[in-house]
Amino acid sequence: MTTTQELHFDGLVGPTHNYAGLSPGNLLSAQHADSTSSPKRAALQGLAKMRRVRDMGIPQAVLPPQPRPDLRALTNLGFTSIAHAAAEAPELLAAVYSASCMWTANAATICPSIDAPDNRLHITPANLTTLYHRCIEPAFAKRFFDAVFADANHFAVHDPLPPAQGFSDEGAANHTRFCASHADPGIHLFVYGRRGMRAAGDTTESLHEPKRFPARQTLESCQALARLAGLPDDRVVYAQQHPGAIDAGVFHNDVISVGTHTTFLHHERAFLDTPAVLEELRAKLAALPGSPALAPIEVGASELTYEEAAACYLFNSQLIATHDQDQPGLTFLAPTDTRDHPRAKAVADRIERESNTIARVEYADVRESMRNGGGPACLRLRVPITAPQLAAMHQGVLLTDELFETLAVWIDTHYRDQLHPSDLADESVAQESAAALAELAQILQLPTLYDIT
């Protein structure tokens, strides 16, 4: 039997990491808008997390920063220079400087070859149409995945879904795969916030949509992602996120639930009808070979409110199967913000004490990312991959001890200790970023990655 393991792509924080507060509905991002960031500290925190997870036995790969500022995007908006944009529309200048591509969970949706009829690993970059600063990301993401997964015998890299509100797609942040093991067939949970397309006059479900903040994922995008991978209906569960959660700042499903293998940690009101979602997952999992049983772990609203979940990111943690015989069970890697939040820490302690599948809770310092609205789970994209597929992908992005040390030196050399949003008007920031990324392309052995014309 072919060995299958989970490869984690982590987003490498870019040189222009800054707090511009560009995401409505992301309360942490809004809370820290216009404050001073530390690109160097952010990148080193993310790199340290990559090595920590790799040392648990999970292969790690690097998803590099996108070119920022995106000068082509500025030109397309009619600006002739950074100074022009800074003078007339500083909010748009901030958007083309955004380092949000660091949150790799939004980069794509993954379907492993064991679930695909053509026995290939399927990657669909997210279109991220809801917000301008994110909708400029898909073209580069597609370029990157095409370069890393170039062997069409093993991989199918799709185009992003059409850039229309009806097909708004935010990637793996709204997708969870359940299975007995990564080598076994799985059930795919797709979570959406709204219907994207309705006939004229159709108000069905209109009362069950958020009123304060946008629902970023549509049912139609979820269905399209399943079709592209060739998933049959009996292998898919579609669930509507509770609109109250979205309006409370839970802008993606991975801020209110997390799952891997058969374990599913979720808030009791994560979905519009949570009991029905759990029942469908149980039934479809049980129908797979070996009849794996869902192991749900519920967090009650009395233990943690929506607002508290959005503030501490308990659910935006990583569930890691280490395969260490001396340490059986899953490791729950949470942000230190969870540890520092008394009620969230109490929940984490309960999970560690009571769960039959989560054996230990650990904490990672990713505060710079958290201040911009992304926790440990936002920073990684899970890719179940076979040994031949791992050998067939581009090797230069795989995290080794040598690459870790090289990236640490590169970050220390090129990144600023502090960056304020007002600094983005300084042309030298753009020049520094371009020089850093040109060197990074050589480090990752992708010399033409940033040659975008």
DSSP string for 257-300: EEEETTEEEEETTSBTTHHHHHHHHHHHHHTSTT----EEEEE-
Give residue 207's pLDDT.
Answer: 60
Task: Give 129-169 pLDDT, tens digit per residue.
Answer: 999 999 999 999 999 999 999 999 999 999 999 999 999 99
Is residue 2 scored above 70 in pLDDT? no
CA distance 399 to 61: 5
Is residue 452 in a domain? Answer: no
Q: Give the span between the Cα atoms of 187 and 177, in whole angstroms.
A: 6
pLDDT of residue 252: 94
- The total of structural domains in the chain comes to 1
Q: What is the H or E stretch that residue 201 is in?
A: none
- Quick check: 200 pLDDT over 70? no
- Mean pLDDT, range 3-7, rounded to an integer: 94
State which residues form the domain around 263.
4-197+205-443
Task: Evaluate if residue 40 carries a pLDDT over 90.
Answer: yes
Is 451 part of any domain?
no
Q: Which residue type is seen at 371?
A: R
Q: How far apart are the first and last CA of the chain?
A: 44
Report d(CA 426, CA 266) in Å as an integer.
44
Position 32 scores a pLDDT of: 79
Q: Which residues contact 252 (CB under 8 A, 6 or more apart)?
A: 105, 106, 170, 173, 174, 216, 217
**Is 298 inside any structural domain?**
yes
317 in any annotated domain:
yes
With respect to residue 374, please indicate whether it lies within any of the assigned structural domains.
Answer: yes
- Percentage of the chain exceeding pLDDT 70: 96
Does residue 201 surpass a pLDDT of 80? no
- Residue 447 CB-density burial (10 A; 0-12 exposed, 13-18 middle, 19+ buried): exposed
Flag whether 71 is in a domain.
yes
* Alpha-carbon 428 to chain mean position: 30
Task: Render pLDDT for 423-448 as a digit per residue (tens, 0 to 9).
Answer: 999 999 999 999 999 999 999 999 99
pLDDT at residue 328 in the model: 67
Residue 30 clears pLDDT 50, i.e. is over it? yes
- How large is the average pLDDT for residues 412-418? 98
The CATH code of the domain that includes 159 is 3.75.10.20
Q: Sorting pLDDT into bands at 50, 70 and 90, what band is 364? A: very high
At residue 325, does pLDDT exceed 90? no
**Residue 323 in this model has a pLDDT that exceeds 80:** no
Tens digits of residue pLDDT in 85-98: 999 999 999 999 99
Mean pLDDT along residues 259-271: 97
328 or 273, which is more confident?
Answer: 273
What's residue 3's pLDDT? 87
User: Would residue 448 count as lying in a domain?
Assistant: no
pLDDT of residue 1: 43
Q: Is the predicted pLDDT of residue 24 greater than 80, yes or no?
A: no
Considering Cα of 156, then 162, then 163, then 165, what sign does the dihedral take? negative
- Does residue 449 belong to any structural domain of this protein? no
Residues of 123-137 as b/e, b for ≥16 C-beta within 10 angstroms? bbbbbbbbbbbbbbb
Tell me the average pLDDT of the chain: 94
Catalytic machinery residues:
170, 252, 378
CA 313 to CA 336: how far, in whole Å?
9
- Average pLDDT (271-290) is 97
Q: What is the pLDDT of residue 21?
A: 84
Long-range contact pairs involving 201-206 (C-beta distance under 8 Å, separation at least 24):
205/240
pLDDT of residue 316: 97
